[in-house]
Amino acid sequence: MRIVRATETFSAELKEFMCAAVQRRRDDDGFRGSRGGGKSRNAMDLDSDSGNRLVCVTGGVSYLGRAIVKRLLVHGYSVRIVVDCPEDKEKVSEMEADAETASFSNRITSVVSRLTEIESLLKAFDGCAGVFHTSAFVDPAGVSGYSKSMAELEAKVSENVIEACTRTSSVRKCVFTSSLLACTWQNNTYNNLDYSVINEESWSDEQLCIDNKLWYALGKLKAEKAAWRIADSKGLKLATICPALITGPDFFNRNSTSTLAYLKGAKEMYSNGLLATMDVNKLAKAHVCLWEGLGNKTAFGRYICFDTILSRDGAEKLAKDIGVQIEKICGNNNDSDANAETDASLQISDKKLLDLMSRTLRSCYHES
């Protein structure tokens, strides 16, 4: 079950397109005004980073990373994509040739960097106004593709990325992709009224994740906590976004390992009304909204992000999409019926994010 939220309408979508158009107009004005001399006031006022429109995206060739890169380009940013190996640079070339991004290809660059080495990250981030950290890790040898060692690695890389952000003079802020799983796996969540709403104050229990071998949830939990520990101690502007299971066009073929890792414990999440999904393109919009909110001081802290709490029909569709039996996700019909009334009070709240995005759309609409 979810907290009541505003319904998406055509009007809201129209405002969003207008928002992007306003941003492109600002970019054009700033470009024309800067010819033949110093930077114009328009160019300098684009955001709080003195007009710096270059941002870095780790994992920029991943399923989510690609969507974020495309959204940033539409909003007028230049993007430097961090890739793990030279072979991944070919994927960047594919993005540059893609019909949706071909017209922005002059604003896409890539750099090979080891996320396990701070010095390598310092070079990758240099000159960027900030970082979108979306990288996740997989272990092909793991049963679910995500092992306990991957959880430890993800936490270590998180420390490195945030530390590198704080040591790079040009970097002012970071948007960090966590997971809803970093919020939902709690002891007594379903018996204590204090925990009947999952929101930005909610944190999963580390020992519970270990005991139940929920390695993906553990990795996201430890990584996000590490990010906040360093950012808070060193004054970095940070916002973290905690999305539900990421879906969208061809999502399983393009993101199968993370999908299966997320769904460890799916039956319990479903029975408690906490199995949710999030469209990848809408999630990318939310990332950019947080980025711009950090610049104008309207965004702060953690944000839960989801589209849909899965019903039985939704669970059946998900099972079909990923090629598993429905019982793997939500058990049998008798189990679902037995839990229907018991879990009606469980809620996930994304009100904080919806309020932020609503303010952003209204602001762009009035400026247009």
* Active site positions, annotated: 220
Q: How many CB atoms lie within 10 A of CB 28?
A: 12
- In contact, 61 and 134? CB cutoff 8 Å: no
Q: Is the dihedral of CA 22, 24, 30, 33 positive or negative?
A: negative
Quickly list DSSP for 220-262. HHHHHHHHHHHHHHHT-EEEEEEE-EEE-TTHHHHSHHHHHHH
Rounded Cα–Cα distance for residues 363 and 105 (Å): 29
Hey, what are 183's tokens?
């919020």
- Angle subtended at Cα 280 by Cα 274 and Cα 281, rounded to the nearest 5 degrees: 135
- In contact, 53 and 129? CB cutoff 8 Å: yes
The edge-to-edge listing of strands for the beta sheet with 308-309 is 245-247, 276-279, 308-309
